[in-house]
Structure 1
Amino acid sequence: MPLLPILLVAVYGLCLLFILGFSLGQWELTRLGRRAHQAPPPPLPPVPAVWPRVTVQLPLYNEQNVVERVIDATAALDYPADLLHIQVLDDSNDATVDLAAARVAHHAARGLRISHVRRPNREGYKAGALRHGLEETDGEFIAIFDADFVPEADFLRRTIPFFLQDEQVGVVQTRWGHLNENESLLTRLQAFGLDAHFLIEQVGRTFAGFFLNFNGTGGVWRRACIDDAGGWHTDTLTEDLDLSYRAQLRGWRFVYRPEIVAPAELPAVMDALKSQQFRWTKGAAETAHKHLGPVWRSGQPLAVKLQASFHLLNSSVYVVIMLMALLSVPLVFVRAQFAEYKVVFQLASVFLFGFTPLVYYYYSAWRLAHPDKPLWRYPGFFLLFLSVSMGLALHNARAVILGWLGRRTPFVRTPKAGTAPAARRRRYRTGGVGPLVALEGLLAAYFAFGWGAGVYFHDFGLLPFHTLLTVGFAAIFYYSVRHAR
């Protein structure tokens, strides 16, 4: 057998091993998450006799579609008015500024302590805005909501008591709800994936005492924890994950409460979803580059270090999927030409069972999120979710590689639509049909060719994989073009 086919098979096999390890990590979190859901709920902390000072920070940048909604929602929080400070951290340069100023003036006239904070520039993006806001407030606890969130009135009364019963609690994170889950197929698929993170992954990590992350919004920080961990840094696109690891390495404890839900809006168009995915995947790679060393040099138990590594390297799975996908088409021809090595390919196919734990992982979350839905609806939706996730592999793999290389890129916000008309929504489009979108379309054709080659050679081992890839890349290409108009 020539060297090139051997190398191809070897690299493909290593990719399968990585996927197997990733899936086993998800299986372990699923097992832990299910145990946590089956255990009796821990007792709630007592209601304090004296409530502490709380600051609510609303970082904004050009959010005219939702700015009034988030300000009004936080102004309606049920908390002692003399102990509450709302900061509208507004870096906008469009009509958002006037809309925010008007709502701030309205609520200030009602006696609410609310500030419209404007910086001379957007240095440090969201992290810079949060850091700047801390310099202008005296809150002991800091609640953070992105512009697309609509917190319930009792949010602070349900979260703050957890800090008061344990001085080592640095963060209380809540579960994201979905205001527009049923708006489109795209929003339903996003909700499906986020539910797995919030109902299984975060729950499992909490149950086992592993590191977890503040999700950037829908949670509360202890001010002393932020200061002790070094404050908000601006060297990654996921300032939330970065600060989470610095705080936990300093010994702070995080509390995750899935029963407290913070409703939010999901991106409804592809360019908004892609900008969000780019920020999350590149930022995770940057944070992994920054913190893997400190994690392994820390005095944490081995299990915590292993799970932290798995957590930080989560986004790197897109690089492996992209590499596997590209190699899978020539692999069809290698399998056809070198029949004498059929047993090697059959052995490699065993590792495809590495995807099985993902079925268990997502099913567990789907059943918790939708206990009344019939079972038959799950398999098709899971396969569609898996397919579209694979279709994002090129976009996300590029982001991960840029993160590992240390390439600096701007913080591109995720546009929020709210209830704005279509014309106003289009003002916040973040991308068009560029070379990357064209390449996604070509890859859909490439994997369709691999599918056809498998049928031609009567080799159906990679047919399911190529079907998922073809559908996924075609869907991403279709929505990218459609939503660019």
Structure 2
Amino acid sequence: MGTAILIIFGLLMLVVFFYSLSLLHLLINFRRSKKHKDSSQKWHFSDPFQIPFVTVQLPLYNDKPVVERLLRNISKLDYPHDKLQVQVLDDSTDDSAALTTEIISELRAEGFPIEHITRTHRKGFKAGALKAGMASAKGEFIAIFDSDFLPKPDWLKKTVPYFKDDSLGVVQTRWGHLNEDYSLLTRLQAFLLDYHFILEQTGRNFGKHFINFNGTAGIWRKSCILDAGNWEGDTLTEDLDLSYRAQLKGWNFKYLKEVVTPAELPITIEAARSQQFRWNKGAAENFQKNYRKVLKDKNATFGTRVHSFFHLLNSSFFFVVLLMGIISIPVLFLLDNPSYSEILTGMTVFILSPVIFFVTYYAAYRELHKDQQLSIFRFTGLFFTFFSIAMGLSLHNSIAILEGHFGKKSEFIRTPKFNLGNKSGAALKQPVKITFQLILEILLMLLFAFGIFSSFRIGNYSLLPFHLMMFFGFSYVVLASLNVELFRGKKSDLTGFQNL
């Protein structure tokens, strides 16, 4: 039994190790990209005949706190109005639709080319709304912004010119953050997203591997959408799905790291959970839907197939971490057994995995903050805090992942928007719900507390850092779910975190 437990634990560590190697390769690509001069052909908008017609789509659903900010911001886009169409794709069922209608009427009176498109149902959710808008979209190119995204006035002028390349299907820009300093939760979300947009998107794009349109802050060639089969609502991440279908059709994608489109991060644990559930389940659904197509694609290189595997499956590593955490408790009691010394010696190579994670995350963090004085101690504290809380969400995300892989369908739950910026005043209290999942998270918190206690009792500290991180992560998630305020207040008040 002990041998079987160690073999399973070792196989899980091997999976994480291979995943870390894929990230290391992306780091190499990222470093190489910094020395590469972009020679993409582009239109010159000094010639009005080179300015194409663009449709901007704004999918909305009960977004009253942010709708006016969105529409006022979009009206400032610096693009010829005779070559611009703005579609507000409004599926709202609350009183926000009246406010939207009022603002649109005002903007139309001012000469801004904006229209209000509503549906009496939510069939297909966001994908359905985008597809419905396609029927009347006049633009050769279609830019998409979620309700909390605020593109700068020159956004179209920085992205559209790249479509001079007829093989280009998508231009994706980097997400920025309007409220990164609201709380510890928002900072950790920004930490994760910055890693994706700095290292992963850049590394995959430079290596000519498949990347994904991120659902917003990007622009599509309309003919690319149609050629790939149009929007489909059979997964919770319609953006990832269409991205893979388009690239399997031979379309190229372009990622612009230097063009930043700021947006709002979820500020409550419930909102973050909801978003994480949708993203992770959608990724698992897309793995089941698209990876066989990638494997069979004769035009895909070996490197693209490998990176596509980890790209589509990366959310499933939450399940791997959860299994590792549970199995690590009996492993702790096997560590001092001389009968397993050879197996344990062979597993020591996997210590490289957390080192690779640390190095790649630091590279992305340093790139984003290269104009600031960085503290390795501050980054280390942020890194371990982030991974601890990510581990604390492993049960929640594992449920989403398993539902995705086994084909259980669920509704598209939008992420609520609050439009509070970095105002970290009174907490937004949410009703406490004692669910079966929360009870399991409490039990896991206690399990890892037992692991910590056992390390000191038997005098073996090999797994102590791992158990400490798992305990801290589940403690955070449990307390936050119970509305216990954690690390809130003004940036200067977060002394414990800031002094890391």
> Do both proteins adopt the same fold according to a TM-score greater than 0.5, normalized to the shorter chain?
yes
* Partner SS, residue 313 of structure 1: helix
Is the 1:173–1:256 contact (alpha carbons within 8 Å) kept by the matching residues of 2?
yes
Q: Which position in structure 2 is the counterpart of 1:360? A: 359
Contact 1:77 1:156 in 2 (8 A): yes
The 1:82/1:36 distance shift into structure 2, 3 A limit, reads: same
Using the TM superposition, give the Cα deviation of residue 99 of structure 1 relative to its aligned residue in structure 2, in angstroms. Answer: 1.5
| Residue number in structure 2 paired with 1:250 | 249
Mapped partners of 2:439, 2:97: distance in 1: 36
Partner SS state of residue 474, structure 1: helix
Mean Cα deviation higher: 431-440 or 448-457: 431-440
Output the amino acid matched with 1:375: I
Cα separation, 1, equivalents of 2:431 and 2:44: 45
Q: Which amino acid aligns with 1:116?
A: H
CA distance in 2, matches of 1:374, 1:40: 30
Tell me how far apart the structure 2 counterparts of residues 389 and 449 of structure 1 sit (CA, whole Å).
Answer: 20
Cα shift at 1:204: 0.7
Moved more, 38-47 or 194-203: 38-47
Q: Does residue 23 in structure 1 map to residue 20 in structure 2?
A: yes
Q: Which stretch of the first structure deviates more once superposed, 475-484 or 153-162?
A: 475-484
Superposed CA offset, 1:191-220 (max 9, x none): 111111101110011111000000000000
Asked whether the 8 Å contact 1:417–1:425 carries over to 2, the reply is no
Change (3 A) 1:104 1:477: same
Q: Is the 8 A contact 1:269 1:483 kept in 2?
A: no
Letter in 2 for 1:229: A
Partners of 2:484 and 2:239 lie apart in 1 by 29
In the TM superposition, residue 441 of structure 1 has moved relative to its aligned partner by: 2.0
Task: Give the TM-score taking structure 1 as reference length.
Answer: 0.95
Cα displacement (A) at 1:129: 0.4
Q: What residue is the counterpart of 1:58 in the other structure?
A: 58
The answer for the alignment partner of 1:213 in structure 2 is: 212
Counterparts of 1:397-476 in structure 2, within 5 Å, are 397-419=398-420, 432-476=433-477
CA pair 59-433 structure 1, distance change in 2 beyond 3 A: farther
Equivalent residue letter for 2:23 = Q
- Determine the C-alpha separation between the residues in 1 that align with 2:191 and 2:412: 25
Matched, 1:13 2:10: yes
Offset of residue 173 of structure 1:
0.2
Give the match's secondary structure for 1:66.
Answer: helix
Post-superposition offset of 1:42: 3.8
Secondary structure at the residue paired with 2:483? helix
Deviation of the 1:171 alpha carbon: 0.2
Match of 1:80 in 2: 80
Give TM-score scaled by structure 2 length: 0.92
Distance 1:73 1:205 in 2: 31
2:34 equivalent among 32, 37, 42 = 37
Partner of 1:65, secondary structure, is: helix
Which SS does the other structure have where 2:335 is aligned? helix
Q: Report SS of the residue matched to 1:177.
A: strand
Q: Partner amino acid for 1:342?
A: S
Measure, in 1, the Cα distance between the counterparts of 2:141 and 2:25.
33
**Corresponding position of 1:285:** 284
Deviation at 1:76, TM superposition (A): 1.0
Superposed displacement of residue 57, structure 1: 0.7
Contact 2:201 2:255 in 1 (8 A): yes
Which secondary structure state, in structure 2, belongs to the residue aligned with residue 263 of structure 1? strand
Give the distance between the partners of 2:58 and 2:359, measured in 1 at CA. Answer: 37
SS at match of 2:310: helix
How far apart in 2 are the matches of 1:472 and 1:23? 21
3-state SS, counterpart of residue 376 of structure 2: coil
Q: Report Cα offsets for 1:388-411 as digits up to 9, x if no partner.
A: 111111111111110000000110
1:34–1:200 Cα contact (<8 Å) kept: no
Letter in 2 for 1:18: V
Shift of 1:245: 0.4
| Cross-structure match for 2:498 | none
Distance 2:91 2:426 in 1: 19
Letter in structure 2 aligned against 1:89: L
Instruction: Supply the RMSD in Å over aligned alpha carbons.
Output: 2.1
1:303-354 Cα deviation digits (max 9, x unpaired):
1111111111111111111110110112122335x34323422332331322
Q: How far off is 1:39 after superposition? A: 2.8
Q: Secondary structure at the match of 1:176?
A: strand
Q: Match for residue 158 of structure 2?
A: 158
Residues 223/199 of structure 1: CA separation in 2 closer, same or farther (3 Å cut): same
Q: Does 1:128 align with 2:105?
A: no
* 1:425 Cα offset (Å): 9.8
Q: Secondary structure at the match of 2:187?
A: helix
3-state SS of 2:34 partner: helix
Tell me, yes or no, if the aligned pair for 1:271 and 1:483 is still in contact at 8 Å: no
Q: Secondary structure at the match of 1:482?
A: coil
The Cα of 1:483 is off from its aligned counterpart by 7.2
Map residues 324-363 of structure 1 onto 2, 5 A cutoff: 324-336=324-336, 338-363=337-362
Separation in 1 of the partners of 2:433 and 2:240? 29
Report how far residue 426 of structure 1 moved: 6.0
Q: Is the 8 Å Cα contact of residues 448 and 470 (structure 1) preserved in structure 2?
A: yes
Identity %: 43
- Encode CA deviations 1:419-449: one digit per residue, 9 max, x unaligned: 399999969x698442212221221111010
Match of 1:317 in 2: 317
Q: Supply the distance in 2 between the matched residues of 1:94 and 1:430 (Cα, whole angstroms).
A: 21
Q: Give the unaligned 5+ runs of structure 2.
A: 486-500
Do residues 188 (structure 1) and 171 (structure 2) align? no
> Matched residues in 2 for 1:434 and 1:386: separation?
24
Q: Which deviates more, 350-359 or 265-274?
A: 350-359
Find the aligned partners of 1:423 and 1:112 in 2 and give their Cα distance.
37
TM-superposed CA distance for 1:301, in Å, is 1.4
Q: Deviations for 1:238-276, whole angstroms, at most 9, x for unmatched residues?
A: 000000000000010100001111111111111111111
Structure 1, unaligned runs of 5 or more: none
Report the residue type matching 2:230 in the other structure.
G
Q: Give the distance between the partners of 1:315 and 1:341, measured in 2 at CA.
A: 32
Given that 1:149 and 1:263 are in contact with CA atoms closer than 8 Å, whether structure 2 keeps it comes out as: yes
Match of 1:393 in 2: 394
From the superposition, tell whether residues 245 and 43 of structure 1 become closer, same or farther in structure 2 (CA, over 3 Å): closer
